[in-house]
Amino acid sequence: MKSLFLYVFLAATSFEVRDFQVTELSQGASSGKNREYTGTPYLDSVAALSIQKIPGKLKCAFYDRGGEGAAYHDSDGRNNGSGGLNKGPGYLNGFRMDEGVDISYTKFHDSIDNSVYNKVQPSVNQLYLGWTEPGEWTRYTVEVTESAEFRIGAMYTSNRGGTIRLVVDNTDSTGLIDIPTTFNAQDPIAWRQWHHWNYVESLAVIRLKRGRRVITLEIASRGNFNFDYFEFRNSR
């Protein structure tokens, strides 16, 4: 009961404290002035063998290793996708199931992720970041291979619209980014409002310097997004 109360309290306050979290990121335990960021790129023999690169696609399920408070912050310690919704055997069903970040993958049976209500068809069996709530964040160590201004595209679903921001090496580098809703009142199935995929080519522009960077994806308002990937293209 106590833990439930704590969870409700944290969930209720997570939106209000998001500006504090930005401050905390620059001074916090994991990446402050005198302490190095302890997260490391997520690599495995199936997902990826090398660090994610920009320009290119940033796959959201492949957030860094390092755990709660360092590589991510999630509203609860349970992975609601892997081992929760997805109970079966295999790599996709069990992907990072012991971590708090909530991960699922696109399914084409029963018109879950391949319905006529998609604006863009996703690929099947794509791991994605889901169950996103305001105040949550995930971090990605990336290699930026050229200093440039990049357009940020996204493959995503958005039940109700909302905002995110990208923090690069502890600096808010985008401000709030609007994520257009993919809600479609024509769909008679309520749960599928979380599965209307869309691709937007240019949500925002970001300037990045060449080298290894740590990008933090922060869910700022409304949440209920599923993010497959962000795509960074040179804006020239």
Residues binding Ca ion (CB under 5 A): 74, 76, 100, 102, 131
- The number of angstroms, rounded, from the C-alpha of 77 to the middle of its chain's C-alpha atoms is 16
Taking the alpha carbons of 75, 78, 84, 89 in that order, is the dihedral positive or negative?
positive
C-alpha distances in angstroms, 104 versus 55, 120, 211? Answer: 25, 18, 30
Shortest reach from residue 129's CB to Ca ion, in Å: 8
What's the burial of 36, exposed, middle or buried (CB within 10 Å: 0-12/13-18/19+)?
exposed
> Which lies closer to Ca ion via its Cβ, residue 131 or residue 150?
131
> Which lies closer to Ca ion via its Cβ, residue 54 or residue 220?
220
> Which lies closer to Ca ion via its Cβ, residue 59 or residue 206?
59
Shortest reach from residue 106's CB to Ca ion, in Å: 18
Shortest reach from residue 186's CB to Ca ion, in Å: 28
**Residue 1 tokens, joined:** 């009961």
> Which lies closer to Ca ion via its Cβ, residue 137 or residue 230?
137
Closest CA to 40 of 21, 63, 56: 63
- Inter-residue contact 224 to 132 (CB < 8 Å): yes
- Inter-residue contact 79 to 96 (CB < 8 Å): yes
Shortest reach from residue 128's CB to Ca ion, in Å: 12
Shortest reach from residue 179's CB to Ca ion, in Å: 16
164 strand-pairing partners: 177, 219
> Which lies closer to Ca ion via its Cβ, residue 102 or residue 113?
102
- Return the CA Rg of the chain: 17
> Which lies closer to Ca ion via its Cβ, residue 76 or residue 178?
76
Angle at 30 between CA 25 and CA 36, to 5 degrees: 110
SS3 assignment, position 212: strand
Shortest reach from residue 85's CB to Ca ion, in Å: 11
